[in-house]
Amino acid sequence: MSYLKLILKNPFRNKTRGALAIVGIAIGIMVIVALGMVTGGLKQSTTSTLKAGAAEINVMQTGSGNFGSGRINETRVADIQSISGVKETAGLLKATNTSTSGSSVSTGSTGTSTGTGTTSAGSGGSGSFGGFSVTGMDPSKLNLAGIENVTGSLYSSTSENEVIIGKTASTDLNKSVGDTINLFGKDFTITGVYETGSFMTDGGVFMSLTTLQNLTSNNNTVSTIAVKINEDANTTEVSKSIETAYPNELSTTTAEAMAGRMNSALSTIDAASWAISLLAIIIGGVGVINTMIMSVFERTREIGVLKAVGWKERRILGMILGESVVLTIIAAVVGTIIAVVGVVTLLAFSFGGTIQPSFAPEIFLEAFVVAFAVGIIGGLYPAYRASRLSPTEALRYE
Amino acid sequence: MDNGKNIIEIRGLKKSYDDGTIKALNGLNLEVKEGEFVSIMGPSGSGKSTLLNMIGALDIADEGTIEVAGIDLMKTSQLNEFRSKEIGFVFQMHNLIPNLSVLENVEIPMYETDLSSKQMKDRAMELLKAVGLEDRADQIPTKLSGGQRQRVAIARALVNRPSIILADEPTGSLDSQTGDVILKLLRDLHEKENVTLVMITHEPYVGNMAERIVNVLDGKIQN
C-alpha cells in the first residue's frame, strides 16, 4: 500500500465524523461557487449589454424615471440627429406583453427597464425577467440596440406581422424561425433569432416601430432615443448638448455612467458574497480543525507506534495534513456539484432562463484553492501536535 | 552467531521523571551480545520499560552512555532512522492499526525505506508466511484472535530486518496456551533470523525461556 493510499483511507475511519466535516466545508464551497456563478453570469450579461449597446447615449423623457416608461415625440429623433457630434439616432418604443398566447395587452407605461434602452420588463407574462418585452424599432437601426447578427432575416420597416425574437425567449417559448407568436392579440411570424449576450435584450422580441405604435396606440411616440456619436465626439459633451437643447423635456444616460452603476452594484454583490464565503470558510475550517484534532487524539497510541517503527516527524505531519486536505477537497467536489446543479436549476425556473450562470474556470479554481487552503490551515495544528508527540507518552496513552 | 560482540552497551544510565522525584534508572549497566535472547524481569516500577524505551531510542537518558548496534544514542540525532533500521518492537497490546489490513499493518515500517510497493508487499507476505498468517493478509485486525494479532505484530517487528527485537510483555494479554505459541514463534524467529531478542516479562516461566535473565530493581541490574 502506498503512503498516498493510506492518506486517502484514513479520513473515513470514522465515517460519520468524516461526512460531517465534509458537509461543513461543502456548504462553504457551495456558497462560493453558487455566488460566483450568479454574479459571474450577471457580469457577463452586463459586459455583453454594454458591448452590444452600440448607442453611447440613451435619451428619455425627463422625470420618467426609467427607460420605457416615458413618452417622447418621435420628431425629436430627427431633431437630435442634427446636434453636433451625433452620428446616428433611432427611436425605440417599448411595451410589455403579458401573455404570448392570449390577447391581453399592456403598454410600455407599466414597464421597468435597465440596460441600453433596448428592452423592458413588465408584469406577468413569460419569457423574460418579470414580463415579455416587445420593442419597436426601425430594422435598419437595430445595431444601435446591440443586435448585430440575426439567424434568419429581419422584419421589414412596414411589416405588420413580422418579428425577430431573442435567443433566450426563443428557447423558453420553444419558438424558432417560421413559427407564429401571438402578441397583443395578433399573430406574428418569427423571421429571425438574435443574440446579444444581454439577458434582458435576448428575452424579448423586436418588431417594426410603426406596427408597435399602432398596436399600443402610441402613434408618433417613442420611449427612448438611442444615440450613437461620432468617433471624435465626447460622450459627456454631446449628452449635455442634448439636455441643454431640450431642458425639462429630455434627459440622457450614457453607457459609461450605466457601466459605472452596474459595476458598483456588482462590486457590492461581490463584497457580500466574499463576506458570506469567508464566514462559511471559517465555520468549515473550525469543523476541520475539530475533526482532525479528534482524529489525532483517538490515534495517539497509533501515532506512537508509527514513531516506534521509525516514521519521521515530517511523514506524520504530512499524513495528518494530507488527510485534512483529502476531506476538504472531497468537500469541494461535493459543494461544487451541489452549487452547479442548484444554480442551474434555480436560474432556469426562477428567472425564466434570462440569467445564464457563469462557468468561468476561475470560479471553480477559486473554490478548490480555498478548500485546499482550509485543509492545510485546519490540519496544521493537529498535524504539528501529532508529529511532536513523545513516542513513550503516545504509547502509554489510554 | 557471534557471541563475542556486544550489540547493546549501557554504562551508568540514569533517567528520572517529575523533576527528579522518580528515578526510573539509577546508574544502570548492561551488556547484551549480538544474537542473544535476554529476558528482563523485575517488579512493577523497577525500570524495565524505561530501560526498553532507552534501548529502542523512544526516550533519552539524562546521564550515562548507551550504544546500540554501534550507534551512540546519546549523541545521534537520527533516532527515527535508527529505530527504522535496527529495532523491531512487539508490544503487549500489539498496537495494530484497526482500519488497515493485516498486510498493510506489516508494511507500515517499510514506508521509511526505499522499497517499491511491490517489494514492500512481497516482504510483508514473506513475514506473514513465517508467522503462519499468509491466508489472513487481507483481513482487518479486529477479525483476528489475540494470538493472531500478536503474530502480525511480530511480523511487523521483523519486516525491516532489525538487529534487535524489543518485546514488552508480548504474552501479557494472551492466555497461557496462546502465549506459549507466541513465545515459541519469537524464539524460532530469533534463531532463524539471527536477531537479538530482549524481552520484558514478569512471569518466571516466560523469562526462563531466554538464554539469560536480567533482573532489574530500583533502576539497577541486580545480578
Question: DSSP for B165-221?
Answer: EEEESTTTTS-HHHHHHHHHHHHHHHHHTT-EEEEE-S-HHHHTTSSEEEEEETTEE
Q: Tell me the mean pLDDT in the region B102-117.
A: 93
Distances (CA, A) of A132 to A19, A105, A124, A180, A191: 45, 11, 8, 16, 18
Q: Tell me the mean pLDDT in the region A73-91.
A: 92
Q: What is the pLDDT of residue A130?
A: 45
Residue A218 has pLDDT above 60, yes or no: yes
Determine the residue of chain B that is closest to A305 in CA distance: B95
Q: How confident is the model at residue A276 (pLDDT cuts 50, 70, 90)?
A: confident
Determine the residue of chain A that is closest to B88 in CA distance: A309
- Please list, in sequence order, all residues whose beta carbon lies within 8 angstroms of the beta carbon of residue A77, skipping any fewer than 6 positions away: A89, A90, A91, A222, A225
Residue A257 has pLDDT above 50, yes or no: yes
Q: Under an 8 A CB cutoff, do A309 and B108 touch?
A: yes
Reading the block at residue A170, the C-alpha cell is: 426563443
Reading the block at residue B100, the C-alpha cell is: 488497515
Q: What is the pLDDT of residue A110?
A: 34
Report whether A121 contacts A68 (CB < 8 A): no
Beta bridge partners of A135: A94, A206
pLDDT in tens, A20-55: 889 888 988 998 899 888 888 777 766 665 554 567
Report whether A114 contacts A56 (CB < 8 A): no
For residue A80, the one-letter residue type is I
Task: Give chain A positions within 8 Å (CB) of B108.
Answer: 305-306, 309
Report whether A309 contacts B89 (CB < 8 A): yes
- pTM of the predicted protein model: 0.70
A vs B, Cβ pairs < 8 A, gives: 69
Q: How confident is the model at residue B1 (pLDDT cuts 50, 70, 90)?
A: very low
Q: Under an 8 A CB cutoff, do A301 and B95 touch?
A: yes
Q: What is the pLDDT of residue A254?
A: 84
Q: Under an 8 A CB cutoff, do B111 and A302 touch?
A: no
Residue with cell 442548484: A342
The residue that leads in pLDDT, B40 or A358, is B40
Q: What is the pLDDT of residue A129?
A: 39
Q: Nearest Cβ partner of A309 from B83, B104, B120?
A: B83
What is the distance between the alpha carbons of residues A393 and B55, in angstroms, rounded to a whole number?
A: 16
Q: How confident is the model at residue A153 (pLDDT cuts 50, 70, 90)?
A: very high
Q: Under an 8 A CB cutoff, do B95 and A392 touch?
A: no
What is the distance between the alpha carbons of residues B88 and B195, in angstroms, rounded to a whole number?
A: 10
Residues 5-24 of A with CB under 8 A from B: 6, 9-10, 13
Share of chain B above pLDDT 90, in %: 69
Lowest-confidence segment of B126-140, B143-157, B172-186 by average pLDDT: B172-186
Decide the pairing of beta strands B196-200 and B212-217: unpaired
